[in-house]
Amino acid sequence: MSEIIVLKKGLDVPVKGSADLRVSKSMTPATVAVRPDDVKGLLPRLLVKEGDRVLCGSPVIADKKNPEILLTAPVSGSVKEIVRGEKRKLLAVLIEADDTQEFVDFGVSNPAALSADEVKAALLGSGLWPMLVQRPYGILADPAATPKAVFVSAFNSGPLAADTEFTLGSQVAFIQKGIEALARIAPVHVSLDASVKDSAFSRLTGCTLHLFRGKHPAGNVGVQISHISPIRKGETVWTLPLHGLAAIGKLFATGRYNVRRLVAVTGPAAIEPSYVETVPGTPVKCFAPFYGNTPELDRFISGDLLSGANVGEDGFLGWRDDQITIIHEGTEKEFIGWIRPLRWKQFSTDRSYFSWLTPWRKYDMTTNLHGGPRPFLMNDGYYAKVLPMDIYPVFLAKACLAGDIDKMEKFGIYEVLPEDLATCEFVDPSKIYIQDCIAKGIDLMLKEMA
Amino acid sequence: MNKIFEKGGKLYWLHSTVDAFETFLHVPGTVTLKGSHVRDAIDLKRLLILVVIAAAPAALFGMWNVGYQHGLAMGQTGVHILEYFWFGFLKVLPLYLVSYIVGLGIEFASSQIRGEEVSEGYLVSGFFIPLIVPVDIPLWMLAVAVAFAVIFGKEVFGGTGMNIWNPALLTRAFLFFSYPNYMSGSDCWIAFKKGETAVADAFTGATPLALDGPAQYGTGFWDLFIGTVPGSVGETSVIAILLGAILLLWTGIASWKIMCGSVLGALVVGWIGNAAGITDIPCYMQLLYGGFAFGTVFMATDPVTSCQTECGKWIFGILIGMLCITVRLFNPGYAEGMMLAILLLNTFAPLIDHCVVSAHINRRERKLKAA
């Protein structure tokens, strides 16, 4: 194992509502959604119609550009509804789940004995392929590409994120199988949290283990890649979440497409936050016991507070997510808020408040913006202190705003996804949507480089 | 906000103004729309009000000093805290009124034209402007200068955060070049009532910098440090400015690199000048004269117009300090170099950043190639 990479910059947002380490419920929801929007870069082509019967692992949606890339059903049942939005955009395929689950049999095999193409074929056919994210740009992985390496972060550092030691510590054998499979395609790098003693994942073999210590975003795979082996122009790497690696392992070990996972239900507005075992595409309403009778006052986020998606009460758990965060909408005005010397209930990293005196405190945060949007005023250094990457965040964001491809390239657009700059957005006194700037910059790159 | 102020409403042209007052009273109930769902409690209003608080000791002392200098000119002795402060307060208050009414008026109007919220930037600039002008400056001149600085120094570039030069210094530069008689020499630094003239024997109202040769020692180290000398309203007291500096550095709003760099640069050039026999003034005294301290702490560290990069901040600060003292040493006609040094470096800050960032990119590319 290599030496510990210590990241001094970063920020752990001290918010209340972390999940207790217990599984409060294991469920198969009555209705499950398959949503093409969960996979960036996928152009959906519908493969089923209403009333069709599907098994767990049956194809539901294919990609138009690469028809072999499939999204498959996470449960067995019948197609209940096909939800379309404006211009008939496919939003979701709703599947009514059976009482007893039936699986497509993909056959048990030993991945170590397979070739790279056979592993790819197995992932494509089962519908696990979209679990892979291709960097730069964070898009659907291209089956024809040969990545430089595959990176997996074995820990989450985001606010209230699921504890992987708890959720996946018992599935090390499957993860090991998954590593063996992906290692047929490219070298696998797994990053561990150095502050966890005796990590269940420290015994993984067939991959390169890296140890990271630091505040968020130390657990972001993008930050880890920039410290392990930065992405150069023209290179591609693949990443996937740890539970995705376990799912790949299960595919080879059991022959089944099984994306059931432990989901952390968290957030300052969550009642008795804890873990739930379920499948992706679970409606948020299935988490009703975790929120009160006034859901219109809450925000439901699939993912974490810094970079998750606001899915609403009618939304669904994201395909790659293992966390639901519930938080009150902060629509109350605060009388002379900004000039009060203490503002005891608010958290700020800035020394003009006094949160630094109580580093142990957790705060009951809301979604209030705490100000109005302004142009960038503070120096780059104000943002760089929470970004453990060799990048000038303000220069990069400004290049993205200006749509200057040449500068975006130089300032490191290949190395980042919006989520990596989430802490910069959090501390920004100018209240700029920095992640949105980066996302727009990436979209521009995709358009221009295509 | 009331409906008539919203788009399409009758009073939409007051939209930005109403919004400014509303957000002044309340932190608005707006929520995050995308990206990070929670945000830090800090906002620009909070950051900028801290700068004003940091400058408050210098302003309060400056007001007292206006009265004190007037008293000296009238041949009075003693400290008379309240009496002098009240005299100075009445003299400085009109400057503040003009500064804020003209500056904020333009700011509100241009925010409305752009359809944006009113930015808080002028809160600070408007507080600084009366502190860096002579107390007896005619108010109409100040109004013209403020209008020039806000319109051509800031709004044409897109408002706060987009400006190249420090608006407060631009005001002073405008006054300096347009009305030099009111901005230099020995008559402008002391406030007089109508019809008064100095009665004290051998009294001179020149700032220590404007005096020649040994006469400069007429005001000793402690006078300069405490600030009981003639000068622009807020620039004389080094100790009051230091109080502000401590607050700015502690909260991290101002960069310690720029402040240290500026002091370092001034000491080096001051020492060279002293050693080479160009001046008799010991280098440390240069830090106390004129607007150096005020400029270093409050003007050079403006995050918008200074360098963005950490390395650039050092270069920026050092060059300001060096240039300021160089102007003092070699230009007897213009004894105060701080204003021009900062404005010049404001102009070059993007270039310095460009060089630092280019060097960083090259280093990164080499590292990536080697990897």
Q: Give the pLDDT of residue B217.
A: 40
Q: Which of B132, B166, B199 is the last residue of a domain?
A: B199
- pLDDT for position B212: 45
Judgement on whether residues B170 and B268 belong to the same structural domain of the protein: no
> Is residue A36 assigned to a domain?
yes
Segment A51-61 shows an average pLDDT of 95
Average pLDDT, chain A: 93
Q: How confident is the model at residue A352 (pLDDT cuts 50, 70, 90)?
A: confident
What is the rounded average pLDDT of the residues A190-218?
A: 93
A328 pLDDT tier (thresholds 50, 70, 90): very high
Percent helix, strand and coil across chain B, each rounded to 5? 65, 0, 35
Average pLDDT on A69-77 reads 94
Mean pLDDT of A265-283: 95
pLDDT of residue B72: 85
pLDDT score for B30? 86
- Is residue A182 domain-resident? yes
Examine the domain organization and report whether B163 and B20 are in the same domain.
yes
Among B26, B37, B46, the residue with its CB nearest the CB of A334 is: B26
Structure tokens at A134: 């291709």
- Each of the 371 residues of chain B gets a pLDDT tens digit; together they read 666 777 777 777 777 777 777 777 777 888 998 889 999 999 888 899 999 999 999 999 999 999 998 888 888 877 788 999 999 999 999 999 999 999 999 998 998 888 888 888 898 999 999 999 988 899 999 999 999 999 999 999 988 888 999 999 999 999 988 988 777 666 667 776 655 655 554 455 556 665 544 344 446 788 888 888 888 888 889 999 999 999 999 988 899 999 999 999 999 999 999 899 888 888 888 888 888 999 999 999 999 999 999 999 999 999 999 999 998 888 766 667 899 999 999 999 999 999 999 999 998 888 777 76
Q: Are A181 and A217 in the same domain? A: yes
Token pair of B254 as six digits: 């101002």
Residue B35: list chain A partners with CB under 8 A.
Answer: 307, 418, 422, 425, 433-436
Inspect the interface and report whether the beta carbons of B36 and A422 lie closer than 8 Å. yes
Whether residue B117 and residue A373 make contact (CB cut-off 8 A), yes or no, is yes
Q: Does residue A102 lie within any of the structural domains?
A: no
Q: Do A52 and A86 belong to one domain?
A: yes
Q: What is the pLDDT of residue B202?
A: 46
Q: Which of A71, A235, A222 is nearest to A152 (CA)?
A: A222
Distance from CA of B30 to the nearest CA of A (A): 6
pTM of structure: 0.91
Position B194 scores a pLDDT of 58
Question: In this structure, is residue A103 part of a structural domain?
Answer: no
Out of A159-173, A428-442, B152-166, B214-228, least confident range: B214-228
Domain boundary among A227, A254, A281: A254
B43 at interface of A, judged by CB pairs closer than 8 A:
yes
Q: Cβ contact (<8 Å) for B119 and A337?
A: no
Among B143, B91, B106, B103, residue whose Cα is nearest residue B127:
B103
Least confident range from A92-106, A307-321, B115-129: namely B115-129
Question: Phi and psi dihedrals of A417, rounded to 5?
Answer: -120, 160
Of A310, A327, A371, the CB nearest to B45: A371
For residue A38, what are the contacts with CB-CB under 8 A and spacing of at least 6?
Answer: A280, A318, A319, A320
Q: Which pLDDT belongs to residue B228?
A: 85
Interstrand relation of A90-97 and A59-63 (parallel, antiparallel or unpaired): unpaired
What SS3 state is found at A113?
helix
Q: What is the pLDDT of residue B192?
A: 67
Quote the number of domains for chain A: 4
Q: How far is B250 from chain A (nearest CA, A)?
A: 7
Size of the A and B interface in Cβ pairs below 8 Å: 200
Quote the distance between the C-alpha of residue B85 and its chain's center: 22
A217 residue type, one letter? P
Taking the C-alpha atoms of residue B48 and residue B232, their distance in angstroms, rounded to an integer, is: 22
* Residue B221: inside a domain: no
DSSP code per residue over B95-142: HHHHHHHHHHHHHHHHHHHHT-PPPTHHHHHHHHGGGGS-TT--HHHH
The answer to whether B119 contacts A336, with C-beta atoms less than 8 Å apart, is: no
For residues A158 and B78, what is the distance between their CA atoms, to the nearest angstrom? Answer: 63
Segments forming the whole domain that contains residue B291:
254-371
A435 closest CB neighbour out of B36, B357, B360: B36
Separation between Cα atoms, residue A262 and residue A248, nearest integer Å = 16
Q: Are residues A124 and A210 in the same domain?
A: yes
Residue whose tokens read 């560290």? B301
Per-residue pLDDT, averaged over A361-365, amounts to: 93
pLDDT at A201 over 60: yes
| CA distance readout (Å), A388 to A220, A357, A391, B42 | 10, 24, 8, 21
Flag whether residue B193 sits within 8 Å of chain A, measured between CB atoms.
Answer: no
* CATH assignment of the domain containing A328: 3.10.20
User: How many angstroms separate the most distant Cα atoms in chain A?
Assistant: 67
Q: Quick one: pLDDT band at residue A49, thresholds 50, 70, 90?
A: very high
The CB density around residue A16, as the number of other CB atoms within 10 Å, is 17
- Which among A159, A418, A427 has CB closest to B40? A427
Which pLDDT band, with edges at 50, 70 and 90, does A416 fall under? Answer: very high
Q: For position A266, what pLDDT does the model report?
A: 96
User: For residues A52 and A34, is the Cβ–Cβ distance under 8 A?
Assistant: no
Please check whether residue A417 lies inside any domain of the structure: yes
The Cα–Cα gap between A158 and A64 comes to 34
**A308 lies in which domain range?**
262-342
Rounded Cα distance, A300 and B364, in Å: 40
Same domain? A269 vs A317: yes
Report, as an integer, the average pLDDT of A129-154.
94
What are the angstrom distances between the C-alpha of A132 and each of A137, A195, A218, A449, B228?
13, 27, 20, 21, 71
Residues B150 and B269 placed together within one structural domain of the fold: no
- Complex ipTM value: 0.90
Cα→Cα distances B22→A183, A342, B28, B294, Å = 59, 21, 8, 33
Are A245 and A186 part of one and the same domain?
yes
How much is the pLDDT for B333?
Answer: 66
Dig out the tokens for A305 from the structure: 């507070």
Q: Would the CB atoms of A377 and B161 count as touching at under 8 Å?
A: yes
Q: Cα B252–B256–B258 angle (5° rounding)?
A: 125
The shortest C-alpha distance from B31 to chain A (Å) reads: 4
B 225-284: CB under 8 A from A: 250-253, 255
pLDDT band per the 50, 70, 90 thresholds, residue A345: confident
**Is residue A394 within 8 Å of A383, Cβ to Cβ?**
yes
Contact criterion met (CB below 8 Å) for B89 and B114: no
Q: For chain B, what is the domain count? A: 2
Does A242 share its domain with A266? no
